[in-house]
Amino acid sequence: MRAYLQFELRRLARDPRLAMFTVLGPVVTYVIFSGLLPAGDRLEGVTAAAALMVGLAGYGAMAGVLSVGSSVAQERAVRWLHQLRVTPLSPRRVVAVKALVSTVSGVPPLVAVGIAGRLQHHVELPAGRWVALLVLMWVGTVPFALLGLAIGYGLTPQLAQPVNFLAFLSLSVLGGLLVPTAYFPDLLRHLAHTLPTYRFAELGWRTAAGLAPDPTGLAVLAGWTVAFGVLAAVAYHRSTAHR
């Protein structure tokens, strides 16, 4: 399992295109739109600049982990999963390693947007809080990594890309990563609170505000993680069966 993990990490490091896409987009968006925020506004318990920083950092991180996860559809097309099937690795371990590697792709946008927030709007947090923000949001990408794997293992390459994009866009918008839920109608606001994207960003907002994670939010994230994990494992098993 360790050898497979090292192999996947090397593959990720050799592909800088993903990091460029997931880092440049959120950073440029933050630089442009954060300048339009009214001075002194507060959203989600923090300054508007910090709230947007967390939202766009989460947006970039989710884009990265979903893209890496759904890329396994291409691996299926070249029968790479057939090769893994004949190794001692169990489906659960293969899914776990791929999910872990997917979450690593979420770290660069978290760091880059955080730096942009610090430099452009002087978002100031104690050093320990910056570290906690990075670690918690990195851990919070796990359900999206599993969702990406479920899409990649369950669909053909022709279908995986559009479904991945639709899932990413809908979860980002409805979860409040791009537009604060404070501006949502009541029905959409209640819906947002049930989604993993809102609870993912909530980890960052509460950490930036110096608060502990919300137990309800953690429970929602855990539920989605289990559901996506089961889907990913089942999709992997079916994709390698009878091959």
* pLDDT tens figures, 43-93: 888 888 899 999 999 999 999 898 877 778 777 766 666 666 666 666 667
Give the pTM.
Answer: 0.87
DSSP sequence for the chain: -HHHHHHHHHHHHT-HHHHHHHHHHHHHHHHHHGGGSPTT-EETTEEHHHHHHHHHHHHHHHHHHHHHHHTHHHHHHTTHHHHHHTSS--HHHHHHHHHHHHHHTTHHHHHHHHHHHHHHH-----HHHHHHHHHHHHHTTHHHHHHHHHHHHHS-HHHHHHHHHHHHHHHHHHTTSSS-GGGS-HHHHHHHTTSHHHHHHHHHHHHHTT-PPPHHHHHHHHHHHHHHHHHHHHHHHHHHTT-
Structure tokens at 171: 């979860």
- The structural domains of the chain, with segments of one domain joined by +, span 2-240
Task: Look at residue 68 in the predicted model and tell me its pLDDT.
Answer: 79
Task: Look at residue 17 in the predicted model and tell me its pLDDT.
Answer: 67
pLDDT tens per residue, range 2-56:
776 776 777 776 777 677 778 888 999 998 887 776 666 788 888 888 999 999 9
Task: Look at residue 131 in the predicted model and tell me its pLDDT.
Answer: 96
Task: Look at residue 48 in the predicted model and tell me its pLDDT.
Answer: 87
The pLDDT of residue 134 is above 60: yes
